[in-house]
Amino acid sequence: MKRRDILRGAIAFSVSAPATIGIVAYDPLLSAIRDYQDGLEKWLKFSPEDNEGAMAYTDESYGPPLALLQEWDQPAYTRDGAIAALKLAFDDDTGVRGMPAEGRLIQAVIGYLETLPA
């Protein structure tokens, strides 16, 4: 099982299971998903009208977090991260359905679920 960094106050420590009640966990997958969603929202609002400009603006907005999600290979660390991953994987409008990230996100959820007690 992979080690996970958990934040408790200002002190970081590691555990090998999902966060327990009372501990606030940092979930890098949830952070990457939020970065993608924020970047996509920025792109939808501010991208240039021309195709070349819009493509270039992708590199400044949602492109980097999408590239990260396309290569994701870790489980979600938290319930919120797992839920966000499923929602993004199956969202027809702003999600990653049909992209490599779709399968990566589903695998991240499975990885999270496998760490839960039976």
DSSP 3-55: -EEEEETTEEEEESSPPPTT--B--HHHHHHHHHHHHHHHHHHH--SSHHHHH
On whether the CB atoms of residues 77 and 18 are closer than 8 A, the answer is yes
Domain holding 59, by residue range, is 27-114
12 in a domain, yes or no? no
Domain count, the chain: 1
Residue 16 lies in a domain: no
The answer as to whether 89 is a domain residue is yes
Long-range contacts made by residues 84-89, C-beta under 8 angstroms, separation at least 24? 84/29, 84/30, 84/33, 84/34, 85/29, 85/33, 85/109, 88/33, 88/36, 88/37
For residue 109, give both structure tokens.
């959820």
In-domain check, residue 22: no
Domain-embedded: residue 94: yes
- Tens of pLDDT along the chain (118 residues)? 333 444 333 334 444 445 445 565 799 999 999 999 999 999 999 999 999 999 999 999 999 999 999 999 999 999 999 999 999 999 988 889 999 999 999 999 999 999 998 8
Residue 90 domain flag: yes
